[in-house]
Amino acid sequence: MNKDFCSLTALFAAVLLAAAMLPMSCNPALPATPKDLAQDALLPRPVSLEATGSSFRLTEKTDIYVEAGNPEIERLGQYLAGLLNPATGLEIGVKTTEEAPPSGHIYLALNNNGPELGPEGYQLEITEKAVNLTANQPAGLFYGIQTLRQLLPAAIEQQEKQEGPWEIASGTIRDYPTYPYRGAMLDVARHFFAVEDVKRYIDLISLYKMNMLHLHLSDDQGWRIEIKSWPNLTAKGGSTEVGGGAGGYFTQEQYQDIVQYAQDRYMTIIPEIDMPGHTNAALASYAVLNCDDKARELYTGTEVGFSTLCTTKDTIYQFIDDVIRELAAITPGPYLHIGGDESHVTPMAEYIPFINRVQSIVAAHGKQVIGWDEIANATLEPNTVVQYWSKAENAQKGVAQGAKVLMSPASKAYVDMKYDSTTQLGLSWAGFIEIDTGYIWDPATMAEGIGKENILGVEAPLWTETVTNIKELEYMTFPRIPGIAEIGWTPASLRDWEEYKVRLGKQKGRFEALGINYYVSPKVTWGE
Ligand code: NGO
């Protein structure tokens, strides 16, 4: 029995019978039509949502209309069609239009939607007749598309045609992020990850509206980005990894391919060259980088804090200038990360002038510095960002110098920590981080004297001493990553663990349709 006939019959019956006598559904085999937008388990939770009690249905006649004359919006239309077509099999097309389209369609357009939506916010209006997605900037449309995607059944994520119906509850969502920086970090130095793995990670985190991916490109165990003026960095320094495997590195072309893939998803890549410590792979590649002019042996263990560039040599600054120049030239985003953590064998009297000098090299190549919280011991440039991971005292020193703070407190945001004592992968030096622990915190109240106005955003680092492939990466990051994404997006006043654990549990079907190897935490109320 078809649905229209079904609702007509129901209407007719309603005239004749008392409402209480109506059957709940004509065909119990079909999923109930979603009618209450407020019941949808969106993640991150949107800022405002108003349900209107009906629903929109994708049919063979549905197309995506985009504002004419804007190739970027057309590309977003194609991206949305690419998300909807495999599972629905509806062959939804993309058409351009000068004005609002006829009924039955999805419409994407830029609109002056009010300053509170900012550059990343969006408004999604769903009626029985149309889906209208508008935003001030294209990034907002991209995030609105992620919301639309989550409003459809989880089967929408499948790559083969699935049974419909494809219905969305009606109402209006107006939504925008709390913090401009919502990110993840991937350590490709301890274990190398291929371009395809990085792209998959980009896709998975962008579903939760993350907009930054920090790549930790060098460490004691490996140098992972081609530097044409210092080729041995990758030829030798990229030739192994933790455990002695083959390692690997990104050519500049491969790195640019990742940057472009991220950019197409409104995500910025932040490359990190960790220095002056965590540099054994470089020290093994070039003798001249060492104070004693002797190249170090390659290292495949997991100790930290034993290596340093020879900060008192002029050659070091030529080397850094070359590396930063080449990296800046292939990085369109505003930030370069200089590491600066755990330089235990660099005397403080050398560390401070080193960080100061590297900041000016980065500035000379037109980029802004991010560094781990230890860099706040140096004299910070006005736009330098301090990434809090370990010591509140360091982050506070940064704030006292006017720096913004990126929040990655290890005891909350490190997704390389084990979930509990039975987790096979991961480390535990910062504690176990179950899903509740990773969710119940507020960046703005984490450390005294560091308020929302001082915070750029949040980032969840995945260090990979124990993580060797994409399946293991997924296991450690899911489902903690959606929690960090929500902390970055949703106002603290709308976040509550008891509510969240149910809403997160409803992502189960989506995780499974996407083939994510997630951790089935006992803390989460798993649904469909
Ligand atoms: C620390 C250390 C990294 C480790 C990580 C492991 C920072 C900023 N430096 O975090 O080298 O891989 O812990 O959790």
* Span from the CA of 389 to the centroid of ligand 1 (angstroms): 9
Statement: residue 6 has pLDDT above 90? no
**Residue identifier of the C-alpha nearest atom 3 of ligand 1:** 463
Token couple for 172: 């209006």
DSSP 328-349: HHT--SSEEEEE----TTS-HH
Q: How many helices (H) and strands (E) does the chain have?
A: 16, 17
Name the nearest CA neighbour of 423 among 466, 390, 460.
466
Confidence of residue 18 (pLDDT cuts 50, 70, 90): very low
7-16, 175-184, 450-459 — which is least confidently predicted? 7-16
3-state DSSP helix/strand/coil percent for the chain, to nearest 5?
35, 20, 45
Structural contact between residues 161 and 112, judged by C-beta atoms closer than 8 angstroms: no
Q: Of residues 6 and 413, which shows the higher confidence score?
A: 413
Statement: residue 281 has pLDDT above 60? yes
Statement: residue 104 has pLDDT above 80? yes
Token couple for 372: 């781990």
Ligand 1 atom at minimal distance to the Cα of residue 304: 11
* Span from the CA of 205 to the centroid of ligand 1 (angstroms): 21
Name the nearest CA neighbour of 140 among 167, 114, 165, 110.
110
Alpha-carbon distance of 227 to 377, in angstroms, equals: 29
Structural contact between residues 457 and 406, judged by C-beta atoms closer than 8 angstroms: yes
Probe ligand 1: pick from 185, 306, 418, 463, max atoms within 8 Å of CB?
Answer: 463
Mean pLDDT of 292-321: 98
Statement: residue 13 has pLDDT above 60? no
Percent of all residues in the chain with a pLDDT value above 70, rounded to a whole number: 94
Q: What is the pLDDT of residue 31?
A: 63
**Element at 317 (helix H, strand E):** helix 314-329
Token couple for 53: 């009690």
Alpha-carbon distance of 382 to 384, in angstroms, equals: 6
Confidence of residue 40 (pLDDT cuts 50, 70, 90): confident
Percent of all residues in the chain with a pLDDT value above 90, rounded to a whole number: 91
**Residue identifier of the C-alpha nearest atom 8 of ligand 1:** 341
For residue 272, give the amino acid letter. E
Q: What is the pLDDT of residue 30?
A: 58
Statement: residue 7 has pLDDT above 60? no
**pTM to 2 decimal places:** 0.94
Q: Of residues 318 and 40, which shows the higher confidence score?
A: 318
Q: Is 414 in the pocket of ligand 1 (CB under 6 A)?
A: yes
Ligand 1 atom at minimal distance to the Cα of residue 430: 14
**How many other β-carbons are positioned within 10 Å of the β-carbon of residue 60?**
9
Q: What is the pLDDT of residue 224?
A: 98
Handedness of CA 485, 202, 120, 67 (dihedral sign): negative
Probe ligand 1: pick from 190, 304, 476, max atoms within 8 Å of CB?
Answer: 304
Quote the DSSP letter at residue 159.
S
CA distances from 181 to 65, 135, 154, 184, 457 (A): 30, 19, 27, 10, 4
* Span from the CA of 486 to the centroid of ligand 1 (angstroms): 24
Q: How many CA atoms lie within 13 A of 30 on its CB side?
A: 15
Name the nearest CA neighbour of 213 among 260, 249, 250.
260
Q: DSSP 3-state assignment of 360? A: helix
Q: How many CA atoms lie within 13 A of 323 on its CB side?
A: 26
Mean pLDDT of 230-246: 98
Q: What is the pLDDT of residue 306?
A: 97
Q: What is the pLDDT of residue 17?
A: 40
* Span from the CA of 463 to the centroid of ligand 1 (angstroms): 7
Q: What is the pLDDT of residue 24?
A: 40
Q: Is 342 in the pocket of ligand 1 (CB under 6 A)?
A: yes
Domains of the chain: 37-175 (3.30.379.10), 181-513 (3.20.20.80)
**Residue identifier of the C-alpha nearest atom 7 of ligand 1:** 341
Statement: residue 23 has pLDDT above 50? no
Mean pLDDT of 73-82: 98
pLDDT digits (tens, 9 = 90+) for 362-412: 999 999 999 999 999 999 999 999 999 999 999 999 999 999 999 999 999
Structural contact between residues 74 and 96, judged by C-beta atoms closer than 8 angstroms: yes
* Span from the CA of 145 to the centroid of ligand 1 (angstroms): 35
Q: How many CA atoms lie within 13 A of 279 on its CB side?
A: 28
Mean pLDDT of 425-440: 98
Q: How many CA atoms lie within 13 A of 272 on its CB side?
A: 30
Confidence of residue 33 (pLDDT cuts 50, 70, 90): confident
* Residue with token string 């490996």: 222
Mean pLDDT of 433-461: 98
C-alpha R_g of the chain: 25
Statement: residue 313 has pLDDT above 80? yes
DSSP 40-109: S--SSPPSEEEEEEEEEEE-TT--EEEETT-HHHHHHHHHHHHHHHHHH-----EEEESSPPPTT-EEEE
Ligand 1 atom at minimal distance to the Cα of residue 190: 12
> Mean pLDDT over all residues of the chain?
94
Left (φ > 0), alpha (ψ -120 to 50) or beta: where does 439 sit? alpha
Q: Is 472 in the pocket of ligand 1 (CB under 6 A)?
A: no
Structural contact between residues 39 and 70, judged by C-beta atoms closer than 8 angstroms: no
Alpha-carbon distance of 169 to 260, in angstroms, equals: 34
Structural contact between residues 454 and 399, judged by C-beta atoms closer than 8 angstroms: yes
Structural contact between residues 370 and 338, judged by C-beta atoms closer than 8 angstroms: yes
Tell me the β-bridge partners of 30: none
Q: Is 519 in the pocket of ligand 1 (CB under 6 A)?
A: no
Token couple for 398: 């940064």
pLDDT digits (tens, 9 = 90+) for 176-212: 999 999 999 999 999 999 999 999 999 999 999 999 9
Write the secondary structure of 512-527 as one string of H (helix), E (strand) and C (coil). Answer: HHCCCCCCCCCCCCCC
Statement: residue 90 has pLDDT above 90? yes
pLDDT digits (tens, 9 = 90+) for 322-340: 999 999 999 999 999 999 9
* Span from the CA of 206 to the centroid of ligand 1 (angstroms): 24
Quote the DSSP letter at residue 297.
P
Q: Is 388 in the pocket of ligand 1 (CB under 6 A)?
A: no
Q: What is the pLDDT of residue 1?
A: 36
Statement: residue 4 has pLDDT above 90? no
Q: Is 302 in the pocket of ligand 1 (CB under 6 A)?
A: no
Q: What is the pLDDT of residue 29?
A: 53
The CA-CA-CA angle for residues 257, 262, 265, to 5°, reads: 135
Q: What is the pLDDT of residue 16?
A: 39
Catalytic annotation, residues: 342
Alpha-carbon distance of 460 to 486, in angstroms, equals: 12
